[in-house]
Structure 1
């Protein structure tokens, strides 16, 4: 019998697993990747009696892998907040799925664990740019405004680390970063431990965001704005958190950050307006390799010849 933990390489995936493994420690095989690497279940070969935990990856995008896991006789615990498609009715599957735009996997795990590691759920929610949800959850904690700001920054930095076209783009492999933070049941202890790892994340984030903030929009209206970043490692790392930053600055406007790819196409991050968290996934799913959720979605490989069509649909979607 073997245990497998499959999780998204962003803040929400990592913080979800940190909560679970502080609650139930144990050795497991870690399966993860860059944030956009979500077809993770196909990387796992399971046998009867194995235990599989899946966190913050789309059930819809992993349908074949999930069905294969259940057919093998493995027990599956699945927690996610993305569009799931039809959820299998199987005795070996325990699924906690909630697509509400104000929740994330970290919050769902926190509820499952009755708030035992709430501070990590706050970090995960901040990382997913759910500031109001994170702040509401943090009311259960005895933290100062300064400490709350530290939790927010940690969430942003962990989330930032997950973006890139491959693992070489990242400061830390997601499984490596998870292993660095999981010994700390309280994220403030990790921050205050004097770790060079936290400093490396913070410095990388600030440098890359400084470059991104010099970028002018390709198109901007009162309804939407589109930014294009170059085919460089810093741009791939910062695309998601830059999208979140733009959404926070202009809460009534939708945003898309397009990052040039080596093949001439674009990696796309879309954020619905914070004051209207709808439509992002519906827009992105009109294009091949598109997916996500209502408030935040993306396209892994937008054909260059369809960029103008995408920009037009983004604007029309939020008029």
Structure 2
């Protein structure tokens, strides 16, 4: 059997889409909301089976990965998050690059020699890597309106990945992938798919609510928002953080969204003019991790908000 384990955001979906356009296969899809990255523990694979893991951190799956390798499972991995210690095993093949201007779909695009480049461009836009997206798109010679369309596609796919559970989302990421995969052309998907129209409308509605929020703490170096316990707030947390980062590139942003379980989910964006420190900040807290420019904490107890705020403003002081 073949298992495809992928992050439920734009990067994970577009990475898998490229791989399966290049290497068609009947596979079992293993995915969830964007923060659900410990996916390998859900895979009951055995000798001769294959696992393709995309846009999920090795260190968050280390024990399950070791068990799969011990059972003779072949594992390929593409990712741009901090990996921790990588196993040395003949059945494990990893392409990891944690550079701030890289996403998993761009790594897959590199692996496939640009075969399905437009989808990688959309994913890079979705990951708020606008400069990298435009650089990757240069050989395609797209007009500005085409680049804008791919940006919107990436942002809408990314938006659908955020939530406390799949019930918060417009579409389960596996269903979104299945709706998208018949399309080789992203512009055709946008023009023809009712799924995309639903995402576009939901994104606009939720972002309008987010833009009415006022920050709880604001300094020159960073701004901290606390979002309510509402499905729209959980859906919009990551994409609104990206929107704020783009609009205010000299400051950092932290969005704390209340979960129905009582804790807070944290999204951090480093200033775009110095994409660093977000991962180190979030790894100071249990369940924290991510990338240099964008990171998060899956479970932040309410009692730890003052400690997080202090660490955030220490990491991003006033200039």
Question: What TM-score bracket applies, with the shorter chain setting the length?
Answer: over 0.9
The answer for unaligned runs of 5 or more in structure 2 is none
| SS of 2:140 mapped into structure 1 | coil
Counterpart in 1 of 2:212? 214
For 2:260 and 2:11, how far apart are their aligned partners in 1?
A: 28
Superposition map of 1:44-63 within 5 A:
44-63=43-62
Superposition map of 1:174-185 within 5 A:
174-185=173-184
How far did residue 192 of structure 1 move?
A: 2.1
Deviation digits for residues 245-274 of structure 1, max 9, x if unmatched? 010011010100011123332111000111
For 1:30 and 1:98, how far apart are their aligned partners in 2?
A: 24
Which stretch shows the higher mean deviation, 289-298 or 104-113? 289-298
TM-score by length of 1: 0.98
Given candidates 220, 223, 232, the residue that maps to 2:221 is 223
Given candidates 285, 288, 291, the residue that maps to 2:286 is 288
- Note the aligned Cα RMSD (angstroms): 0.8
For 2:55 and 2:297, how far apart are their aligned partners in 1?
A: 17
Counterpart in 1 of 2:90? 91
Superposition map of 1:1-319 within 5 A:
2-193=1-192, 195-319=193-317
For 1:214 and 1:54, how far apart are their aligned partners in 2?
A: 38
How far did residue 99 of structure 1 move?
A: 0.4
For 1:142 and 1:316, how far apart are their aligned partners in 2?
A: 43
Consecutive aligned runs of 4 or more in structure 1 exceeding 4 Å deviation: none
For 2:159 and 2:207, how far apart are their aligned partners in 1?
A: 10
For 2:260 and 2:170, how far apart are their aligned partners in 1?
A: 21
Deviation digits for residues 42-83 of structure 1, max 9, x if unmatched? 000111110110000000100011111111111111000001
The answer for unaligned runs of 5 or more in structure 1 is none
For 1:300 and 1:280, how far apart are their aligned partners in 2?
A: 14
For 1:128 and 1:262, how far apart are their aligned partners in 2?
A: 26
How far did residue 143 of structure 1 move?
A: 1.9
The size of the alignment, in residue pairs, is 317
| SS of 1:291 mapped into structure 2 | strand
Which stretch shows the higher mean deviation, 253-262 or 13-22? 253-262
TM-score by length of 2: 0.98
| SS of 1:148 mapped into structure 2 | helix
For 1:142 and 1:27, how far apart are their aligned partners in 2?
A: 34
| SS of 1:228 mapped into structure 2 | strand
